[in-house]
Amino acid sequence: MRFARRNRFALMVVGVLLIANALVLRQYRLNASAHRELREDLIVLSEKGHSKEAEWTYQKLVQALPGLTDEALLDEIARTGALVDEKTPQLNSLVWKYHWAVKRNLEKRSEQRVARAIKRAERE
């Protein structure tokens, strides 16, 4: 008790630091789930032919891609891959375009990873 009273301010800082960390994680989760929601919106809007709204949603999704984790990107590929034919270009389909944007993003990350790995190997 005496320790807590003496160090109450430091403890308070630590407490808030922990809470802030928890809030950061929560925010990441919220962001991911918000992204999933937006992706589902794009799929539905495209299906129903709301092209204007779908275009806006598509833009939002593409802008958010760099901030997503690799796992989230894989999840995106899995979901959109089930809806489009990967081999046939469908330039009028926003879902197909989004699928390719995600794939390209993932490929870019893979290339960067490979380049980093080669560099590391060369260094060692």
Partner 1 sequence: MAVRVEGKFFWAADKKFCLKGVTYGPFAPNEEGAHFPAREQVRRDFAQIAALNANLVRVYDVAPVWLLDTAKEHGLKVWMDIPWQNHRCFLDSEKLMDEARRAVGEAVAGTKEHPAVFAYSVANEISAEIVRWSGTKRVQRFIDELIGIAKSIQPDCLCTFTSYPPTEFLTSEKADFLAFNVYLHDRGAFEKYLQRLQHLAEGRPMVLAEFGIDSLREGEERKCEILHWAVESAFRCGLAGTVLFSYTDDWFRGGFQIEDWGFGLTTRKRTPKDAYAVVQNRYREAPYFELAKPPKVSVVVATYNGGRTLEACLESLRGLNYPDYEVIVVDDGSTDNTAEITKRFSEVQCVTQTNQGLSAARNRGIAAASGEIVAFTDSDCRADRDWLYYLVSDLQRAGEGFAGIGGHNFLPPEDSAIAAAVLASPGGPSHVMLTDTEAEHIPGCNMAFYKWALAEIQGFDPVFHAAGDDVDVCWRLQDHGYKLAFSPAGFVWHYRRSRVREYLRQQSGYGEAEGLLTQKHPDRFNAFGGSVWKGRIYSRALGGVLLQKPIIYHGVFATGFFQCLYAPQPALPLMMCTSLGYHSCVTVPLLMATVYFPILLPLAIACIAMPTGLATLAAIQAKIPKGKQRIWSRPLIALMFLIQPIVRGWTRIKVRLVTSAAATNLPYYQLPEQEKRACAFWTQDGLDRCTFLRALVARLQKHCPVRVDHGWGEHDVEISASPWNRLRLVTVTEDLAQQRRMYRCRLEGSWTARTKALFLLTTAAVAGAINVLAETNPWWWMLLVALPFLYWFAEDDKLQLQQHAMATMEELAAESKWSRVTESESGKIAGMRTADQ
Would you tell me which residues interact with partner 1 (CB under 8 A)?
5-6, 9-10, 12-13, 15-17, 19-21, 23-25, 27-28, 31, 67
Question: Is the Cβ of residue 32 or residue 77 nearer to partner 1 in the bound state?
Answer: 32
Instruction: Please report which residue ranges of the chain form alpha helices under DSSP H.
Output: 2-6, 8-48, 51-64, 70-81, 94-123
Output the DSSP codes for 8-42.
Answer: HHHHHHHHHHHHHHHHHHHHHHHHHHHHHHHHHHH
Shortest approach of partner 1 to residue 32 CB, angstroms? Answer: 10
CA 109 to chain CA centroid, Å, is 13
Question: Is the Cβ of residue 41 or residue 96 nearer to partner 1 in the bound state?
Answer: 41
Question: Is the Cβ of residue 28 or residue 119 nearer to partner 1 in the bound state?
Answer: 28
Shortest approach of partner 1 to residue 62 CB, angstroms? Answer: 15
